[in-house]
Amino acid sequence: MIISDKLNEIVVRYEEIMNELSDASVGNDPSRLTDLMKEQAELRPVVETYETYKKAGKDEEEALWILDNENDPELRTMAKEELSESKRLMKETEDRLNILLLPKDPNDEKNIIMEIRAGVGGDESALFAADLYRMYTNYAVRCGWKTELVSFNENGLGGFKEITFMITGQGAYSRLKYESGVHRVQRVPETESGGRIHTSTATVAVMPEAEEVDVVINPEDIHWDVFRASGNGGQCVNTTDSAVRLTHYPSGIVISCQDEKSQLKNKDKAMKVLRARLYELELEKKHSEEDDLRRSQIGTGDRSEKIRTYNFPQGRVTDHRIKLTLYKIDSIIDGDMDELITALSTADQAAKLLKMNGDVA
Domain boundaries, given as residue ranges, for the chain = 4-100, 108-333
Task: Read off the amino acid at residue 49.
Answer: T
CA dihedral for 172, 178, 181, 183, sign (positive or negative): negative
> How many other β-carbons are positioned within 10 Å of the β-carbon of residue 228?
12
Q: What is the mean pLDDT of residues 226-251?
A: 71
Task: Determine the Cα–Cα distance for residues 153 and 101; give it in Å rounded to an integer.
Answer: 43
Task: Determine the Cα–Cα distance for residues 43 and 19; give it in Å rounded to an integer.
Answer: 14
Residue-wise pLDDT for 154-199, tens only, equals 887 889 999 999 999 988 999 999 999 999 999 988 767 667 888 9
pLDDT at 143 over 80: yes
Question: 4-100 adopts what CATH topology?
Answer: Methane Monooxygenase Hydroxylase; Chain G, domain 1 (1.20.58)
> Up-side HSE of residue 53: CA atoms within 13 Å toward CB?
20
SS3 305: coil
* Banded model confidence at residue 287, pLDDT cuts 50, 70, 90: low
- Phi and psi for 149 in degrees, rounded to 5? -75, 140
Domain 108-333: give its CATH code. 3.30.70.1660
Query: Alpha carbon of 188 to those of 122, 199, 221: distances in Å?
Result: 14, 9, 46
* Banded model confidence at residue 294, pLDDT cuts 50, 70, 90: very low
Whole-model pTM: value is 0.74
- Phi and psi for 181 in degrees, rounded to 5? 140, -170
